[in-house]
Amino acid sequence: MRYSQMLIPTTRETPAEAEIASHRLLLRGGFIRKLTSGLYTFLPLGLLALQKVAAIVREEMNRAGAQELLLPMVQPADLWQESGRWQKYGPELLRFKDRHQRDYCLGPTHEEVITDLARRELRSYRQLPANLYQIQTKFRDEIRPRFGLMRCREFVMKDAYSFDVSDEAASKSYEIMREAYHRIFRRLGLEFRAVEADSGTIGGSFSHEFMVLADTGEDTLVICNGCDYAANVEKARVVLPPEPAEREEAAAMVKVATPGMKKVERVAEFLGTTPDRVIKTMVYLADGEPVAALVRGDREVQSVKLKNLLGADEVEPMPDDEIWKRTRLPAGYMGPVDITIRLVADQEVMGMVNAVAGANEKGYHLTGVNPGRDFRPDVTGDLRQVTADDRCPECGAALTLTRGIEVGHIFKLGTGYSEAMNATFQDSDGTEKHFVMGCYGIGVSRVVAAAIEQNHDEHGIIFPLPLAPFQVIVLNLGVNNEATCRAAEQLYNDLRAAGLEVLYDDRDERPGAKFKDADLIGIPYRVTVGRTWEKEGRIELRSRATGETSTMEYADAAGRISAMIRDELAARQ
């Protein structure tokens, strides 16, 4: 492709709205343009990168035995009513009516549509296992679209769905997908981790997320230093240390004045103790009902764990004034003793002795609070966020906390959807059985952003070779010299003839501008035909990733460069 004929509107200015590198560089490099909040146009370069990711995903899905199809993006409400998600899904589901006043939504995911297809078309055990997938635009009316392609409202996803005769067979399908995902992200050249994950609104019992490691990631991952254990903090289990041999004797409960002391640290200091001896009481709205959650004063509530422990669909922190209006509990002075709302306690709280807690009266706390004696929670369990001081739940080794970007998520769904939608097949013994399902997503457009987040420098993007929109950029630095132009043009043609994807910078621009643009758009290899060619008949090759530069005979260049790129790609297969 000739640069002069391609729409690559690079800019020097840093766009004000872009907070993270991938967003900034995708805009500056002329890969995407924003239409409106959460909606982006893929310009030609951006579309090429997207298609690269999609091609690798498609190849590996096919290799794993999945079949590609394409489902409608618009979905009728009645399917969602059957599954129960029309009520459950919340405002991320964009709902609308057609001219006949029938309800529809834009597909945020396709469990309902595919289950409907399966119950019609997969009638016999002989057709199973089946794994069907598509690469398609999804719409989710995200509350805060941000970070460019990272969290859009409209985005490209690969979603696959497996149908099996039994739980055991479904586990096999899940394993096949897990391996395929490892291959995909390895081939894309990304540093990633598969972690145990929460199942979210999709439902199901068991899931893994694939995370690209990057400091700007929205997720926190817990990785064991000693074994293979890795989990999203939303899921990471906390193991309690063994009980101390000697327990402090329980003292009497005493109400003390703590005027203006609303923060755990202040109360602890005022009472001559430490935050780990304070019970922190946080009020949440769980499916519309206020609940109080207890953790040790130096810990944080993990809201996904809270949601799962309560079996709630949605859990959100309640603002202080709301708490007061609905429950008459004074924020900053709340505590578990004689509390009037539902009480959930972290397991660790139950082992505390003579703790400090709010007295549910403004300006007062209680000392000598003892769980079991002074209050009994409705639910207890693992409620708090893991910290770097916790130990691995599997092997007891130390843990590392790090940030990641979720690029893929695989779920064992079980029979939730097939039962709700009565999707059955005839088994070998003649009985009708519900499909055992799995579902498997990859954020194809998010992968492009995640790859850039992980691979960039102050000059621009550094694309891993497998997903670069072009593998090589040829810079003609002698646009006014006819011989140089001919040589550059010939090299461009030779490289293409050797099967490479080449961008030819034939623009009438200064060398400095061409170098800057080449660095910005991140093409892995840059070839310059300029002075060195004019003087010595040699061209210069530079790697964007390492900055290494070498020169070679013009006559050998096409052969050597194509061999090098072929080898590098083959090493990733």
Instruction: Please check whether residue 201 is in contact with residue 214, taking contact to mean a CB–CB distance below 8 angstroms.
Output: no
Q: What are phi and psi of 131, to 5 degrees?
A: -130, 120
Q: 3-state class of 530 per DSSP?
A: coil
Say how far apart CA 200 and CA 111 lie, in whole Å: 14
For ligand ATP, the closer CB: 207 or 562: 207
**401 burial level (CB within 10 Å; 0-12, 13-18, 19+):** middle
Say how far apart CA 520 and CA 456 lie, in whole Å: 9
For the CB of residue 141, give the shortest distance to ligand ATP in the complex, in Å: 10
For ligand ATP, the closer CB: 156 or 352: 156
Say how far apart CA 356 and CA 296 lie, in whole Å: 10
* Dihedral-angle region of residue 171 (phi above 0 means left; psi in -120 to 50 means alpha; beta otherwise): alpha
What are the residues binding ligand ATP (CB under 6 A)? 109, 140, 142, 151-152, 155, 157, 200, 202, 406-409, 441, 443, 445-446
Helix or strand holding residue 476 (H, E) = strand 472-476
For the CB of residue 217, give the shortest distance to ligand ATP in the complex, in Å: 10
For the CB of residue 188, give the shortest distance to ligand ATP in the complex, in Å: 13
For ligand ATP, the closer CB: 200 or 290: 200
For the CB of residue 54, give the shortest distance to ligand ATP in the complex, in Å: 13
For ligand ATP, the closer CB: 407 or 557: 407
For ligand ATP, the closer CB: 140 or 542: 140
For the CB of residue 418, give the shortest distance to ligand ATP in the complex, in Å: 19
Say how far apart CA 553 and CA 539 lie, in whole Å: 7
For ligand ATP, the closer CB: 202 or 545: 202
Q: What is the DSSP letter of 124?
A: B
For the CB of residue 34, give the shortest distance to ligand ATP in the complex, in Å: 14
Alpha helix (H) residue ranges in 213-358: 264-270, 303-310, 320-327
For ligand ATP, the closer CB: 170 or 407: 407
For the CB of residue 452, give the shortest distance to ligand ATP in the complex, in Å: 14
In a 13 Å sphere around the CA of 383, the CA atoms on its Cβ side amount to: 30
**Helices 21-28 & 444-454 angle (0-180, nearest 10):** 100
Say how far apart CA 328 and CA 364 lie, in whole Å: 15
User: Is the peptide bond prior to 129 cis by the omega test (within 30 degrees of 0)?
Assistant: yes
For the CB of residue 269, give the shortest distance to ligand ATP in the complex, in Å: 38
**Residue 338, beta-bridge partner list:** none
Say how far apart CA 347 and CA 207 lie, in whole Å: 24
Question: Helix %, strand %, coil % for the chain, to 5?
Answer: 30, 30, 35
For the CB of residue 144, give the shortest distance to ligand ATP in the complex, in Å: 10
For the CB of residue 447, give the shortest distance to ligand ATP in the complex, in Å: 7
For ligand ATP, the closer CB: 199 or 484: 199
**56 burial level (CB within 10 Å; 0-12, 13-18, 19+):** buried
Say how far apart CA 56 and CA 408 lie, in whole Å: 14
Say how far apart CA 62 and CA 56 lie, in whole Å: 10
Beta strand 39-42 pairing with 32-36: antiparallel
For ligand ATP, the closer CB: 110 or 296: 110
The structure tokens listed for 387 are 């910290």
**Helices 44-63 & 167-187 angle (0-180, nearest 10):** 140
For ligand ATP, the closer CB: 215 or 556: 215
Q: What are phi and psi of 309, to 5 degrees?
A: -65, -35
E-assigned strand segments in 140-278: 154-164, 192-196, 206-213, 219-224, 230-232, 254-257
Using only the alpha carbons of the chain, give its radius of gyration: 29
For ligand ATP, the closer CB: 170 or 304: 304
For the CB of residue 445, give the shortest distance to ligand ATP in the complex, in Å: 6
For ligand ATP, the closer CB: 22 or 445: 445
Amino acid at 237: R
Residue whose Cβ sits closest to ligand ATP = 443
For the CB of residue 276, give the shortest distance to ligand ATP in the complex, in Å: 31
For ligand ATP, the closer CB: 202 or 312: 202
Instruction: Please check whether residue 409 is in contact with residue 210, taking contact to mean a CB–CB distance below 8 angstroms.
Output: yes
Other C-beta atoms closer than 10 Å to the C-beta of 337 total: 18
For the CB of residue 62, give the shortest distance to ligand ATP in the complex, in Å: 20
For ligand ATP, the closer CB: 50 or 294: 50
For the CB of residue 159, give the shortest distance to ligand ATP in the complex, in Å: 7
For the CB of residue 138, give the shortest distance to ligand ATP in the complex, in Å: 7
For ligand ATP, the closer CB: 443 or 478: 443
> Which residues contact residue 422 at a Cβ distance below 8 angstroms, ignoring those fewer than 6 apart?
119, 434
